[in-house]
Amino acid sequence: MLAFLAIGLSFMDLCAQTHPSGRFKFSLPFGGKYDYNSIKVRRVIDGDTIELENKERVRLIGIDTPEVWDSPKMERDIKRSSKDREDIIAMGKAATRFTKSLVKDKKVRLEFDAEKRDRYGRLLAYVYLTDGRMLNAELLKEGYAQVYTFPPNVKYVDMFLDLQREARENERGLWKKR
């Protein structure tokens, strides 16, 4: 009996985690299997975060889009960019609209790097559209995002830097002169 209790408690340790908000979250590591080679995007949270049909959130690897809500990151963005709050929110909303136009209610394919999840439990992925384009790269190419890498997830950093440089030189999106 004690062996079953020990196994059960060990299993619960594997399945339970405390969310950064302090709430306790319990999930079973079995049940629905999801094909990350073809899964539908349920909604777009912001320019660099989406939610899948299975309700998992995905943070796009290697990029960062401007904030759309007040937050500590918004304050850092204001100081770093010397833009005001309204400009950052407007750019964040534009990035969100762009992301929605490409993936909302559409099937995508996820590619993972060295780490599959971030500290908030979100999947970390490169997201591919059905035509083969990578969403992360498209956001950089059109100037809606900037490079934001965290080793060891740096598989495409050189390509991302090239895309950002090109968007900046051509004054697209964030880099447009006002």
CATH number of the CATH domain containing 126 = 2.40.50.90
Residue from 53, 56, 57, 59 carrying the catalytic annotation:
59
Residue 178: pLDDT band by 50, 70, 90 thresholds?
low
Which residue reads 């796009």 in tokens? Answer: 60
Please return the burial class of 123, using the count of CB atoms within 10 Å of its CB with bins 0-12, 13-18 and 19+. buried
- Give the three-state DSSP class for 117: strand
Residue 150 is part of which domain span? 34-175
Alpha helices in 104-156 (DSSP H): 135-141
Residue from 42, 43, 67, 168 carrying the catalytic annotation:
67
Judge whether residue 4 has pLDDT over 50.
Answer: no
Amino acid at position 103, single letter: V
Q: What is the pTM of this model?
A: 0.80
Count of Cβ atoms closer than 10 Å to residue 124 Cβ:
19
Residue from 51, 57, 86, 122 carrying the catalytic annotation:
122
User: Looking at the domain assignment, is residue 21 inside a domain?
Assistant: no
Is 122 annotated as catalytic? yes
Judge whether residue 23 has pLDDT over 50.
Answer: no
User: Looking at the domain assignment, is residue 67 inside a domain?
Assistant: yes
User: Looking at the domain assignment, is residue 170 inside a domain?
Assistant: yes
